[in-house]
A and B are shown apart, each in its own frame.
Chain A
Amino acid sequence: MKALEVNNLHKTYRNGFQALSGVSLEVKQGDFYALLGPNGAGKSTIIGIICSLINKTSGQVRVYGVDLDQNPADARMHIGLVPQEFNFNIFEPVGEILLNQAGYYGIPRKIARQRAETYLKKLELWDRRYDMAKELSGGMKRRLMIARALVHEPRLLILDEPTAGVDIEIRYSMWNFMRELNASGTTIILTTHYLEEAESLCNNIAIIDKGVTIEQTDMRSLLNRLNLETFVLYLDHEIEQLPDCGDYHVRLLDKSTMEVDKHKDHDLNGLYSRLSRCNIKVVSMRNKSNRLEQLFLSMLNNNSKD
């Protein structure tokens, strides 16, 4: 069964602006799915329609086989939404925010308390359960939004830029939590502007631009399309001249840092052999830019030309 099916979705706002022009998506059960696109591409409109915040102009949305038009309440039961903006009553205690949210889904108070405890503990907010939301730090508020979205145990969790403005340590702990959640069977749709986040977490991806889907595929085959990758190599000692590297296109950034362009048909072993022969050791290396970022930008450029 598909977790989410979006067919030929159109949305034209009252002022005539066409936000979506026939978007179709398919998210498999248990998937970790990235929904990417530049600002104004239509991602928020898609999420708004899926979550019943916005009415569509035409098209069909099915959540775990339940048609959003025919049975909206059942469809919404499956969805948990973590919006981009903090949206809770800042005077409400953390625990109460979760209990109230559970109440909207008809969850009895006793069960809601147990779940609130579980998720607040998992997201390291249990000690702050009696504090007002306004007393939490930015990272804690983000985690509170996730805990709140999970309290009715949705099968499909939609995360709209969940790590925006979060420091690196919390971001990594949130990534781990999201991975665990996905591993336990929750389907996750993630929108983010951090493409390394999408690359690291997601299995499948859709790229939206100007209200249409310009790509929908699995992450691995998308990344395989990258013909050329650039690596930065850090050397163990300074060199004055570039060694002979054969087919590899290398540049010296400074005396101990090299940049190499690698075609997808080549590997790096040949380069390492050549460097070793010249008595040059590579102590570390990194991708010059994020691979998904390169592909994303080239796709958007192609779409603009079209």
Chain B
Amino acid sequence: MIISIALRELRSMFLSPLAWTVLAVIQLILAWSFFTQIDFFFNIQSQLATLPNAPGVTDLVVMPTFEVASIILLMVTPLLTMRLISEERRNGSIALLLSSPISMTEIVLGKFTGIVLFMLIFITMISLMPLSLLMGTELDLGKLAAGMFALMLLLSAFSAAGLYLSSLTSNPVVAAISSFGLLLLLWIINSNTGDASNTLDQLSLLGHFAPMLRGLIDTADIAYFILFIATFLLLTIRQLDSQRLQG
């Protein structure tokens, strides 16, 4: 059932022009950013050659591209998640899900899986650009994998939060704006602290994403993302249940 809902979500995303537009625009922006990074790398390559333990192409081209991708997707993910539940409620199709033999947990997990699959397509497309460098140079594949993993966890977290906010309203625009506000807040929440042990730093999405992007996979960071995702999914299930109770 979860797979059925996930595949339906994925298909329906590609039925509207929004997903195609988002994919195309992001790919264009990231391609431009990628070429800028390559250009920058070529410009400083001679200086790098004189440095011991100089950063390689993975650090100077691939990671900045992923960083740019994470910021763009912070803005774009709410546009993709806004319709997940709010639109179903607005056009009444939520009734089909609620009257079918699927549990609320399956509905929420199915929708979440659907959007995560879409994000996976995103990450694959983004990663194809750095991977194309393998034709001309060597990459630190470990760091690349860590970056992709970090991006996957981050986008899953964005999606879970967006899904929850989509369940709060029947207006997709309100869902998108509130998701963006929440994600931006959690992104910059530690901007003035500078102390890693600070509570705000522990809450920050960026604080847990940045080390992984640099190749430092810490179980605490993974646990943070898993807890973040689980919390918002549980909140979504509770929200939908309470709406059914209200009738």
Chain A residues with a Cβ under 8 A of chain B: 11, 13-14, 45, 48, 51-55, 72-74, 76-77, 79, 81, 83, 85-92, 96, 100-101, 103-106, 132, 148
Contact = CB atoms under 8 A, between A and B. Distances in A.
Contact of B11 (A76, A86, A88, A96): A96
B5 interface: yes
A48 B247 contact: yes
Interface class of chain B by DSSP: helix
Nearest to B107: A104
Contacts of A106: 1, 4, 101
B93 A105 contact: no
B95 A76 contact: no
Nearest to B14: A91
Contact of A87 (B5, B91, B100): B91
A96 B15 CA distance: 11
B247 A53 contact: yes
Nearest to B100: A104
Given A103-B7, A106-B1, A55 B98 contact: no
A79 B99 contact: yes
A118 to B, nearest CB: 20
B173 interface: no
A61 to B, nearest CB: 13
A177 B54 CA distance: 76
B12 interface: yes
B102 interface: yes
21 contacts: A13-B246, A45-B247, A48-B247, A52-B98, A54-B244, A54-B247, A81-B99, A87-B93, A87-B95, A87-B96, A90-B91, A100-B4, A101-B96, A101-B100, A103-B4, A104-B96, A104-B97, A105-B100, A106-B4, A106-B101, A148-B96
Contact of A76 (B91, B101, B246): B101
B95 to A, nearest CB: 6
A14 B246 contact: yes
Interface centre among A72, A77, A85, A89 (most CB of B within 10 A): A89
Nearest to A12: B247
Given A81-B99, A104-B97, 5 more contacts: A54-B244, A86-B91, A89-B91, A96-B11, A104-B5
Nearest to B247: A54
B99 A51 contact: yes
Contact of B244 (A53, A81, A91, A104): A53
Interface centre among B11, B16, B101 (most CB of A within 10 A): B101
Given A103-B8, A104-B5, A52 B99 contact: yes
Contacts of A52: 98-99, 244
B181 interface: no
Contacts of B244: 52-55
Nearest to B9: A100
